[in-house]
């Protein structure tokens, strides 16, 4: 079956032919999405046999690349013992311990299945803890597709030009004065400490520190959405890199080693408000799934200081893209902002290089992106601008 035929069949069975809107290609001027057949290391192969150098890496979790042998072995071994139990497992406890050890502000953690689930429950917990309903968030940020987070959101919502109803007091990222005007009576400030869903946008000097101060003064909680930054910009996430500790942290992507797993955590006092210890309800049959926890443990236990040194060195080499446009990078996530991103996307895809089909997303470095892959990408971008 050709890609065109497969997409036609998908359109008859799946809304828009894709199971997540960000997989669509119309925003970059292409009719059909990529249908992946397999991946290996830094490369992705589609159903037509075309091979691409992959800078998307499943939107960030594959820090050791596609089909990483150690992760695959861990998942296969776990699957042989059972794919799901619906009861507690030792691996859940071990993964929680890895997260608590790594993330500075987290004393207790709850595992869930998706970043959306983690974010919406962190908001529920913040509202219960403060007795307040309103909250502050940032224009262009994305915290999943739960209703409270969707208006003026980033990522796929912005790419598709969809205006969804949401809640929250929406202000501009890096604008402390706007936060100060909006924070009175708020349950929390919900923020990506490094914006990753309007392209990579680092926090301005003093911005995160200012959010911490404003939250302390107003009685609001500070919630870091580290779904993208967690275990990517540092082992302890952006809060380790910038030295600002939130009250609650939302995690995803790398924490599940590429399988469906996310988490949220904070102080023991806050987290023990969750059922069955407390009165804030959250539940999920597949939370802490044994395959996902096996993958997560395999990855997190290998994230040594040497890995981050390696990723930083690769990132410095990739910084050469800054000669072609505004290039923003924090650790192993980056974005090249250009005037005609769809044209650049198509140019690179024709040369076997796959970026996210949206200017609002990041490029993700991994340990399997070598000098050859980085230089090839820089040369292909240079060719586009020549």
Query: Which are the catalytic amino acids?
Result: 142, 225, 253
Phi, psi dihedral angles at 13 (to 5 degrees): -120, -25
The residues facing 336 across adjacent strands are 327
Q: Within its chain, how far is the Cα of 207 from the centroid? A: 21
Task: Report which of 63, 49, 6, 35 is spatially closest to residue 257, judged by C-alpha positions.
Answer: 63
Check: CB of residue 288 under 8 Å from CB of residue 95.
Answer: yes
Angle subtended at Cα 290 by Cα 83 and Cα 58, rounded to the nearest 5 degrees = 95
Strand, coil or helix: 306: helix
- In whole angstroms, what is the distance from residue 292 CA to residue 108 CA? 19
Distance in angstroms between the alpha carbons of the first and the last residue of the chain: 37
- In whole angstroms, what is the distance from residue 200 CA to residue 228 CA? 10
Check: CB of residue 268 under 8 Å from CB of residue 67.
Answer: no
Strand, coil or helix: 21: helix
């Amino acid at each position: 079956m050709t890609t065109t035929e497969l997409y036609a069949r998908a359109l008859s069975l799946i809304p828009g032919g894709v199971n997540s809107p960000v997989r669509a290609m119309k925003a970059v001027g292409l009719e059909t999405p990529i249908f992946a057949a397999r991946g290996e290391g830094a490369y992705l192969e589609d159903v037509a046999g075309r091979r691409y150098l992959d800078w998307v890496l499943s939107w960030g979790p594959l820090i050791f690349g596609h089909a990483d042998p150690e992760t695959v072995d861990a998942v296969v071994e776990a699957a042989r013992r059972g794919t799901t139990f619906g009861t507690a497992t030792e691996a859940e406890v071990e993964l929680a311990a890895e997260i608590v050890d790594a993330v500075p502000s987290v004393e207790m953690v709850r595992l869930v299945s998706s970043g959306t689930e983690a974010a919406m429950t962190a908001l529920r917990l913040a509202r219960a803890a403060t007795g307040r309903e309103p909250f502050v968030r940032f224009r262009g940020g994305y915290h999943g597709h739960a209703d409270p987070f969707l208006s003026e959101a980033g990522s796929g919502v912005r790419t598709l030009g969809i205006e969804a109803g949401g809640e929250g007091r929406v202000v501009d990222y890096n604008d402390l004065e706007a936060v100060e005007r909006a924070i009175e009576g708020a349950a929390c400030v919900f923020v990506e400490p490094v914006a990753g869903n309007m392209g990579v946008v680092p926090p301005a000097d003093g911005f995160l520190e200012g959010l911490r101060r404003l939250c302390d003064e107003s009685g609001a909680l500070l919630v870091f959405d580290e779904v993208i930054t967690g275990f990517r910009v540092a082992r302890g996430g952006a809060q380790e890199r910038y030295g600002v500790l939130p009250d609650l942290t939302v995690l995803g992507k790398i924490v599940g080693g590429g399988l469906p797993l996310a988490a949220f955590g904070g102080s023991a006092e806050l987290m023990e408000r969750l059922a069955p210890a407390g009165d804030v309800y959250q539940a999920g049959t597949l939370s802490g799934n044994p395959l996902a926890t096996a993958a997560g443990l395999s990855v997190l236990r290998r994230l040594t200081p040497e890995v981050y040194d390696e990723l930083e060195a690769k990132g410095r080499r990739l910084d050469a893209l800054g000669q072609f446009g505004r290039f923003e990078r924090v650790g192993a996530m980056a974005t090249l902002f250009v005037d005609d991103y769809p044209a650049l996307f198509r140019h690179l895809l024709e040369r076997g290089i796959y970026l996210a089909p949206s200017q609002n997303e990041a490029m993700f470095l991994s340990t399997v992106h070598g000098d050859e892959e980085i230089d090839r990408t820089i040369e292909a971008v240079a060719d586009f601008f020549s």
